[in-house]
Structure 1
């Protein structure tokens, strides 16, 4: 999905925020290539792969002793589980907010009508998004991403 199409889908509530993190890449292979191809030549060299492995080792070796022990791996596992639990909670919260009549189900009408990002971007409340409003939302997400 192209970046502009992703932003439009986000604003219309069709794509969850977590999908935006991928920056519009279509496949995991493209995301990995983009992350590891530090010189931008469209390929991952052995040196780039070694550098990525060094970064991963440093991240896992939390106490900096030059070795990854069971406690550090357990910490990494816990962090992964915590992120998954948080994503699950966000999904449940979003679902409950969409269930506007409180019947425990989200109808097609409730699903279509829930567009919080569109509503956030539509600063003047006119039901349309101007280029300035879209740019403001893009800046908000870019600022939050780092």
Structure 2
């Protein structure tokens, strides 16, 4: 699902924000997700807790073991999400092709930024930290 968020950011015009953030803070997303006590590092206990959460997600029937059927179900869910993301990406690409020639020119690509427009709640042509947080929260909710 993280790849979908990156693809969505690319298509919707937020690439500079995402890429800049990722380059400035390598591993920051993982750290934020796993660093439960907020000390800026991941302890072995925090990693074990993350592994326990992952195990519980995969052990859908709660029998204390992950069987082939559960892995197949997880694999199917990943594939379903990937197919849906591909469809959304294709739809967005077609909408960007303003002249309908089957190609998205640089001008067409640059002119379509619906996510920016949606995130710019006050319409000032700039994204504040609060506006970015709202849109990130929205995508995080869709990814989870």
Q: Normalization by structure 2: what TM-score?
A: 0.71
| Number of aligned residue pairs | 128
The Cα of 1:123 is off from its aligned counterpart by 6.5
In 2, the alpha carbon distance for the partners of 1:114 and 1:142 equals: 22
CA distance in 1, matches of 2:95, 2:46: 44
- The structure 1 segments of at least 4 consecutive aligned residues displaced by more than 6 Å after TM superposition are none
- For structure 2, list consecutive stretches of 5 or more residues without a partner in the other structure: 1-8
Greater per-residue helix proportion: 2
Structure 1 51/131 Cα, relative in aligned 2: closer, same or farther at 3 Å?
closer
Structure 2 partner of 1:5:
none
Q: Which moved more, 1:31-40 or 1:51-60?
A: 31-40
The alpha-carbon deviation at position 30 of structure 1 amounts to 2.3
| 8 Å Cα contact 1:121-1:136 kept in structure 2 | yes
Structure 1 alignment gaps of length 5 or more: 1-9
For the 8 Å contact 1:121–1:129, the answer to whether it is kept is no
Aligned with residue 129 of structure 1, among 112, 121, 125: 125
Matches within 5 A, 1:113-124: 113-121=111-119
Structure with bigger RCO (C-alpha 8 Å, 6+ apart): 2
Q: Distance in 1 between matches of 2:27 and 2:87?
A: 28
- What residue in structure 2 maps to residue 15 of structure 1? 14
Separation of aligned partners in 1, 2:122 and 2:43: 49
